[in-house]
C-alpha cells in the first residue's frame, strides 16, 4: 500500500458524543461550543456534535453552534438508521437529524448478524433495507453521509459476507464515507489491518470515491495501534476523541495518532502551524471536561519530553536526537530537565544560567546551589516534579528573590456539628503584610488545605489581582518515614494552573498543614515572579482591610 503514503487523512472528532459518554463527564451547551471552537482552531475536519434526537440539550446546542464563525470544521449530527418496518420520513430520529441543519450526518447501522437478529431483533434483509433507505433519504436532502458500520470487526470475524454486504449497500445508497467500527474494542491490530485492507480493495473496484474510515475503542489498549494499521491498509478517515476519553476505556486518542501519522508515517493531516497547537488545545479541552491529561501521555503529556538521569541529560545537551524521538516543539510541547540529585552539575548550571547567564561551572554559586539541592533532597524534598520550587531556590541563592508578602499568621480549624449532618466544616484564617500594609481573609473549604488555599489567594488578590486566575489542580501527600507513624515527615506536592499553563511546587514538614503552606506559597510566588510582577504601592487611604 506504499502508493497511499503522503495522501490526506481526515480527522473526525467525536469528543462531544463519544467523549461525553465517559464516566464523570457532562458538557454544558457552553462547554460544547468552546470545544468546537478549539477543534476548529486545530484544523479538525469533522466534529460529531451529538444526537439531536436524544435530548433537549443537544437540540439547543445545534441551534447555538450555527452562529459560530467556524473556518475549518464541518459539523456532524449523529443518529441511527431508521427503525425497523417504518419509512425514514416517519422516524422522529431522522427528522431530528434534518432539523439539526448540519452539512454532514453520521448514521450508525448494524453490520454484525448477531446484533441484527438478537439485539434489534429483525431480519438480516430488513437491516440492509434500514441502512439503504436511511442513507438514500438523507442524501436526497443534500446531506453528506458518514455510515458507521457498527460492530464491523466482530461481524467480519463471524460472518464476513454479511458484514461486507452492509458496506456495499451503504456505498450504493450514496454514503460518502464508511467507518469500520471496533465497537466493543476487542479487535487486535493484525486483524484490523487485514480486514481494512480487504474492505479497501473490495470497495475500490466498484465505489472508488467512497472513503474508508476507522473508529476504534480502547478496551484492549489497542485503539491507537488499530487506527494506525487501518490507515496503512488504506483507511483515509480516522475517528476518535482528541484526548482519548470516552465510554468504558475510551476511544482512539487523536492527540497521539495525529503526530504519529504526520511526523512518523508521512501522511498529510494538519499544517505545521496547527500541529504546533496540539498540546495546548488538547489540554484546554481536557480542562473543560475536568479531566487531567496523564503526565506520561505520548507527545502532549507533561513528562513526554522530560529527562532526569544524568547520562540522558548529558546526551540531550549534546544533541537532542540522542534520547528524544522528535522535536517536542512540533506538537507545542517542551523539553523538561528534571531537578534531582542525579541531574548533574551541567543540568543545574543551565537552570541557574536562566537567571544569571554570567555564572559558569566554576562559580561558587553553582556549588552552593548543588549543595543546597542535595541537602534539601536529603531532608525529603523532591524537585523532579516540582521544578518551580527549585527555580525559587535558585533565585534565593542568587539574591534575585524578593518576597511578595510576609506571613503574620495562619490558622485552620474544623468542626463537625452534632446535629446538622455528617459533613465537617473546615475554615482557614490568613493574615499577611505587603509593603507594610496588613490584610486578613477567612475562607471555608472541603478540607483544611483547600480552605487555606482559598484564604491565601483571597487575601493576596487585594494586592495582586492576577491571582484570581489561578487554582489548585492536584494535591499529593507522601509520608517519608512510615516508622515514625504520625510524627513522620510528609512531602506535599501541588500542581497549580492559570487555565493555560501548569506548574508544580513542593513543601516538606512533620506538619502536613505547614508542608502544604510551603507549597502553596511557592506556587503563588512563582507565578508572580514569572509574570514579573512588582509589589504594589498601597496608599494609606486605600487600606481599610
Of 43, 1, 2, 335, nearest to 197 (Cα)? 1
The pLDDT value recorded for residue 352 is 73
d(CA 344, CA 337): 11
CATH class for domain 406-540?
Answer: alpha beta
Q: How many other CB atoms are found less than 10 A from the CB of residue 68?
A: 13
- Give the number of other CB atoms < 10 A from CB of residue 273: 8
Strand boundaries in 435-540, DSSP class E: 437-445, 471-479, 490-497, 502-509
CA dist 252 and 138 (Å) reads 28
Predicted structure pTM score: 0.69
**How does strand 144-150 pair with strand 177-182?**
parallel
pLDDT score of 542: 37
List helix spans (H) across 66-149.
92-99, 113-114, 124-140
pLDDT score of 540: 39
Boundaries of CATH 3.20.20.70 in the chain? 2-289
pLDDT value of residue 421:
56
Q: How far, in Å, CA of 436 to CA of 536, rounded?
A: 11
CA distance 475 to 390: 18
Q: What pLDDT, on a 0 to 100 scale, did the predictor assign at position 544? A: 33
**Per CATH, domain 2-289 is 3.20.20.70:** yes
Check residue 1 and give its pLDDT: 38
Pairing of strands 336-337, 406-415: unpaired
* Cβ–Cβ < 8 Å for 13, 240: yes
The partner residues of 478 in beta bridges, in order of sequence, read 491
Burial code (b: 16+ CB inside 10 Å, e: under 16) for 361-378 equals: eeeebbeebbebbeebbe
- For the beta sheet containing 490-497, the strands, ordered from the edge strand earlier in sequence to the opposite edge, are 471-479, 490-497, 502-509
Alpha-carbon Rg for the chain, nearest whole angstrom, is: 28
CA distance 213 to 285: 24
What is residue 541's three-state secondary structure?
Answer: helix
Instruction: Determine the Cα–Cα distance for residues 47 and 17; give it in Å rounded to an integer.
Output: 9
Per-residue pLDDT tens for 402-429? 888 989 899 988 876 655 555 667 899 9
Residue range 207-218, pLDDT digits in tens: 999 999 999 999
In sequence order, which residues have a C-beta less than 8 Å from that of residue 115 and are 6 or more positions away? 150, 151, 155
pLDDT, residue 140, reads 97
Residues of the chain with CATH 3.30.160.270: 406-540
pLDDT tens track, the chain, 545 positions: 344 446 999 999 999 999 999 998 888 888 899 899 999 999 999 999 888 876 777 778 888 898 888 999 999 999 999 999 999 999 999 999 998 999 999 999 999 999 999 999 999 999 999 999 999 999 999 999 999 999 999 999 999 999 999 999 999 999 999 999 999 999 999 999 999 999 999 999 999 999 999 999 999 999 999 999 999 999 999 999 999 999 999 999 999 999 999 999 999 999 999 999 999 899 888 878 878 788 899 999 988 888 776 676 667 677 777 778 899 989 988 887 765 544 556 666 776 777 678 887 778 887 888 788 778 877 877 665 677 887 888 888 888 788 889 898 999 888 766 555 556 678 999 999 988 888 999 998 888 888 998 999 999 998 999 898 888 888 888 787 655 555 578 888 888 888 777 788 889 998 889 999 999 999 999 999 888 887 555 443 333 33
Predicted pLDDT at 309? 62
Adjacent-strand bridge partners of 474: 495
Cα four-point dihedral sign 67, 70, 74, 77: negative
SS3 content of the chain, % helix, strand, coil (to 5): 45, 20, 35
The whole-number pLDDT of residue 364 equals 82
HEC states along 15-45?
A: CCCCHHHCCCCCCCHHHHHHHHHHHHHHCCC
List strands edge to edge, sheet with 425-434. 406-415, 425-434, 437-445
Half-sphere exposure of 365 (CA within 13 A, CB side): 20
pLDDT at 5: 46
* Distances from the Cα of 100 to the Cα of 78, 90, 211, 334, angstroms: 10, 17, 24, 41
**Cell numbers standing for residue 66:** 450555527
In terms of residues, how long is the chain?
Answer: 545
Closest CA relative to residue 391, chosen from 301, 506, 236: 506
Q: What is the pLDDT of residue 216?
A: 98
| 3-state SS, residue 482 | helix
Cα 177 versus chain centre, distance: 28
Amino acid at each position: 500500500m506504499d502508493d497511499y503514503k503522503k495522501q490526506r487523512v481526515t480527522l473526525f472528532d467525536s469528543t462531544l458524543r463519544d467523549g461525553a459518554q465517559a464516566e464523570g463527564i457532562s458538557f454544558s451547551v457552553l462547554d460544547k461550543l468552546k470545544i468546537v471552537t478549539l477543534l476548529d482552531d486545530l484544523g479538525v475536519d469533522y466534529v460529531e456534535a451529538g444526537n439531536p434526537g436524544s435530548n433537549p440539550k443537544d437540540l439547543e446546542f445545534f441551534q447555538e453552534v450555527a452562529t459560530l464563525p467556524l473556518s475549518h470544521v464541518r459539523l456532524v449530527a449523529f443518529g441511527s438508521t431508521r427503525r425497523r418496518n417504518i419509512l425514514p420520513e416517519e422516524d422522529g430520529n431522522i427528522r431530528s437529524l434534518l432539523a439539526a441543519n448540519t452539512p454532514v450526518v453520521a448514521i450508525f447501522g448494524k453490520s454484525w448478524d448477531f446484533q441484527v437478529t438478537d439485539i434489534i431483533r429483525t431480519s438480516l434483509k430488513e437491516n440492509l433495507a434500514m441502512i439503504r433507505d436511511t442513507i438514500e433519504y438523507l442524501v436526497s436532502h443534500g446531506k453528506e453521509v458518514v455510515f458507521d458500520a457498527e460492530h464491523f470487526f466482530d461481524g467480519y470475524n463471524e460472518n464476513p459476507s454479511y458484514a461486507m454486504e452492509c458496506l456495499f449497500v451503504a456505498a450504493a445508497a450514496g454514503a460518502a464515507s464508511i467507518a469500520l467500527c471496533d465497537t466493543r474494542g476487542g479487535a487486535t491490530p493484525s486483524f484490523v489491518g487485514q480486514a481494512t485492507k480487504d474492505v479497501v480493495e473490495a470497495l475500490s473496484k466498484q465505489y472508488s470515491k467512497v472513503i474508508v474510515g476507522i473508529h476504534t475503542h480502547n478496551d484492549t489498549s489497542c485503539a491507537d495501534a488499530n487506527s494506525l494499521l487501518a490507515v496503512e491498509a488504506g483507511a483515509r478517515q480516522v475517528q476518535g476523541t482528541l484526548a482519548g476519553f470516552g465510554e468504558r476505556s475510551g476511544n482512539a486518542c487523536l492527540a497521539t495518532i495525529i503526530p504519529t501519522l504526520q511526523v512518523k508515517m508521512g501522511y498529510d493531516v494538519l499544517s505545521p502551524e496547527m500541529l504546533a497547537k496540539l498540546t495546548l488545545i488538547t489540554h484546554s479541552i481536557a480542562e473543560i471536561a475536568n479531566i487531567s491529561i496523564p503526565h506520561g501521555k505520548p507527545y502532549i503529556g507533561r513528562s513526554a519530553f522530560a529527562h532526569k538521569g544524568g547520562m540522558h541529560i548529558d546526551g540531550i545537551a549534546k544533541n537532542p536526537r540522542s534520547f528524544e524521538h522528535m522535536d517536542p516543539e512540533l506538537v507545542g510541547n517542551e523539553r523538561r530537565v528534571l531537578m534531582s540529585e542525579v541531574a548533574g552539575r551541567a543540568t543545574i548550571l543551565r537552570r541557574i544560567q536562566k537567571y544569571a547567564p554570567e555564572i559558569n561551572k566554576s562559580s561558587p554559586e553553582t556549588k552552593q546551589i548543588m549543595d543546597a539541592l542535595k541537602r534539601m533532597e536529603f531532608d525529603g524534598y523532591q524537585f523532579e516534579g516540582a521544578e518551580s520550587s527549585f527555580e525559587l531556590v535558585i533565585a534565593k541563592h542568587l539574591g534575585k528573590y524578593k518576597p511578595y508578602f510576609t506571613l503574620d499568621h495562619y490558622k485552620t480549624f474544623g468542626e463537625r456539628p452534632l446535629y446538622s449532618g455528617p459533613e465537617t466544616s473546615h475554615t482557614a484564617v490568613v493574615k499577611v503584610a505587603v509593603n507594610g500594609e496588613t490584610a486578613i481573609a477567612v475562607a471555608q473549604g472541603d478540607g483544611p488545605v483547600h480552605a487555606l488555599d482559598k484564604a491565601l489567594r483571597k487575601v493576596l488578590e487585594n494586592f495582586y489581582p492576577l491571582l484570581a486566575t489561578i487554582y489548585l489542580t492536584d494535591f499529593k501527600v507522601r509520608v517519608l518515614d512510615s516508622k515514625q507513624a504520625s510524627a513522620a515527615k510528609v512531602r506535599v506536592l501541588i500542581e497549580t494552573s492559570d487555565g493555560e499553563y501548569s506548574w508544580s511546587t513542593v513543601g516538606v514538614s512533620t506538619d502536613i498543614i505547614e508542608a502544604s503552606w510551603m507549597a502553596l506559597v511557592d506556587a503563588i510566588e512563582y507565578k508572580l515572579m514569572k509574570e514579573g510582577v512588582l509589589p504594589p504601592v498601597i496608599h494609606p487611604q486605600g487600606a481599610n482591610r
